Chains A and B, each alone.
Chain A
């Protein structure tokens, strides 16, 4: 596959009456955007705001983040979801790099998921650095939580496609080309390099805990091999919105940092032979089946090494460790990427499950770390959700109104695919 990413660097965003980019300034047609979202008759109202890096603005509760893009070849959207199914990963895509659609939707009262555009909070979320077009969606009355989630999810995708139209005729600042042939071709080119697979675990467990591949609910598949560029090109959508710190937003699927890093090493230190989805189910029989099948698939494909990333915390830890054990037993070297819950002081047992085989583990951060969020000048979203952020312990709200929260609450703070700001130091 060959994917061309034409990057248009966005340095500012303004609301207007036409979609365009001039000198790095993105203008968004507000009424057009609202109309694009209200094509769904289950949407009652849409509010559009802008949040820029450095502004004392808090966005909460964030449903999803999506990167606005435009496809020149006609398939403009999310195949299998907002457009008809079509293979992704080939061709040219124009990207408004530095802009993001942030959707707000509070389906349940305890929802968190905050983006602070300034101060301490901004240090922990990658979406404090993007120019955010914030789309607050109010559905019609009487929807059940499942319908509400679908409405907000699709509204975000439609909003991103609409704003992406600004990229159609914009001047391209940089073009990045990604190219990987078939496994046979790449192995012939790099016969001496170790073959490496990337296993991406995704939550697949029900309302607010789902992931979709070409519109297919991952609950309904067994582990599947796919080309890394498909994910980078709109094939994967997040339906997650409870695990704020370690959910993988649609934006992070579009920009999977592990995939980018593995591609960067392709042909140099490794032969990157593809990605595998391993859905995280709720039943132990389902987990055993998927973890076994995943390890078998890696073995059949001849992998010498596998990188596994997790999504979420709690029951997915079992999948992570089971996959690791099964791969190592087959003689395949395995590295895990996961966040940890090691208490406020970082000294507690970090994962639910442990295994002797898990000897190469990269931590993407401690979800229980406490940070201070000072009062915002402006809250986009739901004030009640902002109050919910306060941790629920004595002393979590200071006299000046600042809040103590755990990283749990911050969007993307401990991203287990590495698209975030936390890092690891060896002492």
Chain B
């Protein structure tokens, strides 16, 4: 577990750097709904370093930053919602773990 002190964007940059250095991108860096993009918290699952760098995963990590910037360019922090955003990020992270469990349940990936 790696904690990034900073913003959602700082997490995206860290993920981008890790994917470029060979880590597998396991979950997509962005949420699926625009409102969640204003969350100050984001959990992204990356794997161990793999053989070679995946261009497709690098592209997804890069484009996620561009997309995030587009959506949040003029937004200010709304700290009164921090608790709810943290809880939603946690619950969606747990759902991703269940998804990984389903993918792994019959074979090794």
Contact = CB atoms under 8 A, between A and B. Distances in A.
Contact of B74 (A287, A313, A393): A393
Contacts of A284: 25-28, 57, 60
Contacts of A315: 28-32
A348 B69 CA distance: 10
Interface majority SS (helix, strand, loop, mixed), chain A: loop
A244 B36 CA distance: 11
A153 B100 CA distance: 26
Contacts of A317: 67
A281 B100 CA distance: 10
Contacts of A247: 33
Nearest to B75: A392
Contact of A392 (B38, B45, B60, B99): B38
Contacts of A282: 27-28, 32, 92, 95-96, 99
A408 B63 CA distance: 20
A316 B67 CA distance: 12
A368 to B, nearest CB: 7
B7 interface: no
Chain A interface size, as a band, is 35 or more
A291 to B, nearest CB: 12
A314 to B, nearest CB: 4
Interface in A283-321: 283-287, 289, 311-318
B67 A349 contact: yes
B64 A283 contact: no
A110 B78 contact: yes
B14 interface: no
A289 B30 CA distance: 19
A351 B66 CA distance: 9
Interface in B45-95: 45, 57, 59-60, 63-64, 66-67, 70-71, 73-78, 80-81, 83-85, 87-88, 91-92, 94-95
Contacts of B96: 205-206, 282-283
A119 interface: no
A180 to B, nearest CB: 31
Most chain A beta-carbon neighbours within 10 Å: one of B26, B36, B75, B109: B36
Contacts of B25: 284
Contact of B33 (A243, A285, A286): A243
Contacts of A205: 32, 92, 95-96
Contacts of A342: 70
Chain B contact residues, majority secondary structure: helix
Contacts of A392: 38, 75-78
A242 interface: yes
Nearest to A351: B67
A223 to B, nearest CB: 15
Interface in A85-116: 108-112
A367 B32 CA distance: 13
B56 to A, nearest CB: 8
Contacts of A158: none
A261 interface: no
A114 to B, nearest CB: 12
Contact of B81 (A109, A203, A209, A281): A109
Given A282-B28, A283-B26, A206 B94 contact: yes
B2 interface: no
A112 B36 CA distance: 11
Nearest to B103: A285
Contact of A408 (B35, B64, B77, B84): B35
A108 B103 contact: no
B32 A208 contact: no
Given A283-B27, A283-B96, A368-B71, A206 B91 contact: yes
Nearest to B33: A243
B11 to A, nearest CB: 14
A91 B4 CA distance: 56
A242 B33 contact: yes
A273 interface: no
Interface of B: 25-38, 45, 57, 59-60, 63-64, 66-67, 70-71, 73-78, 80-81, 83-85, 87-88, 91-92, 94-96, 98-100, 102-103, 109
Given A243-B35, A313-B32, 16 more contacts: A109-B80, A110-B38, A112-B35, A145-B87, A205-B32, A206-B91, A219-B98, A243-B33, A283-B45, A283-B96, A284-B57, A314-B33, A314-B67, A353-B60, A367-B71, A408-B34
Interface of A: 108-112, 145-146, 203, 205-209, 219-220, 240, 242-247, 280-287, 289, 311-318, 341-344, 348-349, 351-354, 367-368, 388, 391-394, 408-409
27 contacts: A109-B81, A109-B83, A112-B35, A145-B88, A205-B95, A206-B91, A208-B88, A220-B102, A242-B36, A280-B32, A283-B27, A283-B28, A284-B57, A284-B60, A286-B103, A287-B28, A312-B33, A313-B71, A314-B30, A315-B29, A317-B67, A341-B71, A342-B70, A368-B70, A391-B74, A392-B78, A393-B75
